[in-house]
Structure formats: structure tokens, C-alpha cells
Amino acid sequence: MKTLVMVLAMVVCANAGDLMLKRGMSQIGAVQLTASGLAQAFRLTVTNGTIWVGILFLTGFMLSYMTVLSWADYSYVMPAGAFGYALLTLLAVIFLHEPVSPRRWIGVALICVGVLLVGQTKPRTTAGGATA
Amino acid sequence: MMRVILALAVLILGSTGGEIAITHGMKSTGEPARLRPLALLQFLGRAVRNGWFWTGVPLMALSFYALLILLSWEPISLVIPASALSYVVGTLGAKYILANV
């Protein structure tokens, strides 16, 4: 049960963090690729409250991710990360009203499948070939 | 389009390069003696004195800044899934640089 709660916290924090970063950068506007444009963007990002809320959520994600990995298998946690890509795209449609084409949905589905496959492989953490 | 590809490359190579540098640094730092606060602080002290750690941190900061720039240009439903390419680059980096296989 605690694993499920932590995985849920992980997914919520990651998605909320990314959405907040997007909202913050939308408030700032498109960054110009010039020295002054980058400097101004840097100044605006470090003074933007929404960006800091996003960073706070991402810190929460990192803490819950590290915590859940301390007791749960990576192959159990990894699919949650894959699920996050699909959920984030869905949230972008709902909250940010982003248009997502069928081709992009297929791409997201392929990423989810790929991450799931990666999560199923056993990590080898020693030179001798022992599995973790 | 070219600037998006460039920023995406900075995002992916920065995050992967940063993770590889920090992994290398942490492996040479060694494991904490015990999972106690004092031992963890000493471990952290050793980690921050490692040059690879300070190579990784700016790379990851650069990667985060590239993410913010990309988010100011493109929809999040494109940027975040596209950043999944770091799985591929990270696996190649681990195989050929860290020899993790």
C-alpha cells in the first residue's frame, strides 16, 4: 500500500512540476537566443513564482522516487515513469488545451512501451554479472 | 525547427553527461560507511570534493535551462516525450563510457 501511495506521489509531483514549469515559461514568453535574451530569461525565471512551485514539485518527485526505490524493485517503479508520459500528455490537453495529433499519441504510446520494456530488463550492477 | 533540435540536444546531452559524470564521481567516492546521519554527511562531504561531481552539476543545470527554454517555445506534450530520447543516450553512455552494460 505504501509503495502505491509513493508511486502515486511520484507521478503527481512529476506531472504537476512539469505543468508548472510550462505555465511559468508561458508567462515569461518565448526566450530569444541572444546573449541579452538568455540573460533576461534567466532573470525572469529565477524571479517567477510558478517556476519555483514547479521546482518544489520536482523536488518532491525526486524525494518520493528515491524513497520508493529504497524498498521497491526498479522494474515495479519504472512503469510508473512510462505511465507519466501518457498522463502528462493527457493533462496538457485538459489543463493547457494543447492540441495533440493522433501521430503524437502513437509516439507517446511507443515511448511508454519502450520504457516498460527497459523496466523489465534486470540491471547488472557488478562486473561479475550478478543481478541486482 | 533547427533551434528546437539544438535545445533538445543540449537538454539530452546535458542531462546524460551530467548523470554520467555524477555516477562516475559517486562510484569513485565509494559507498557510505553506514546509513547514519554522520556517515551520510561524511559521504556527502567526500562527494562534493570530487571534481566529477562539479562537472555533472553544471551540465545538469544547463540541461534544466534548456528544458525551460524549450517549454517557452513548444507545447509540453512535445517537449517531455521528446526528452525520453535521454533513455537511449543514457544507455549508450553507460555502455560505452561507464561500461555498465
User: Per residue in B13-54, pLDDT tens?
Assistant: 999 998 888 888 888 887 777 777 888 888 888 888 888 889
DSSP A123: P
Whether the CB of B28 is below 8 Å from some CB of chain A: the reply is no
Instruction: Tell me which residue in A42, A45, A88 faces B80 most closely, judged by beta carbons.
Output: A88
Average pLDDT estimate for B67-96: 88
Give ∠ CA A65-A69-A72 in degrees, rounded to 5. Answer: 125
ipTM of the complex: 0.79
| pLDDT of A7 above 90 | no
Whether the CB-CB separation of B69 and A31 falls below 8 Å is answered with yes
What is the Cα–Cα distance from B56 to B68, expressed in whole angstroms?
19
pLDDT for res A130: 41
What is the average per-residue pLDDT within A64-76?
A: 77
| Out of B69, B76, B101, closest to residue A92 by CB | B76
Position A132 pLDDT exceeds 50: no
Contact A118, A125 (CB under 8 A): no
Kindly provide the residue ranges of all beta strands, DSSP E only, lying in chain A, ordered along the sequence. Answer: none
Tell me the mean pLDDT in the region A38-58.
94
The type of residue at A100 is: V
Does the structure show a pLDDT above 70 at A83?
yes
Which range of B43-57, B61-75, B81-95 scores highest in mean pLDDT? It is B61-75
Whether residue B71 and residue A25 make contact (CB cut-off 8 A), yes or no, is yes
Contacts of A96 in chain B (CB under 8 A): 75-76
Section A6-33 average pLDDT: 92
Q: In this complex, do A30 and B77 lie within 8 Å of one another by their Cβ atoms?
A: no
Q: Does B89 touch chain A (CB under 8 A)?
A: no
Comparing B9 with A120, the larger pLDDT belongs to B9
Catalogue the E-assigned strands of B1-101. none
Instruction: Tell if the CB–CB gap between A114 and B101 is shorter than 8 Å.
Output: no
Residues 6+ apart with CB under 8 A from A84: A11, A14, A15
Interface size A-B, in CB pairs within 8 Å, comes to: 68
Pick from A45, A77, A44: nearest CA to A61: A77
**So what's the pLDDT on residue A77?**
75
Burial class (CB in 10 A: 0-12, 13-18, 19+), A14: buried
Quick one: CA dihedral A53, A58, A59, A65, positive or negative? positive
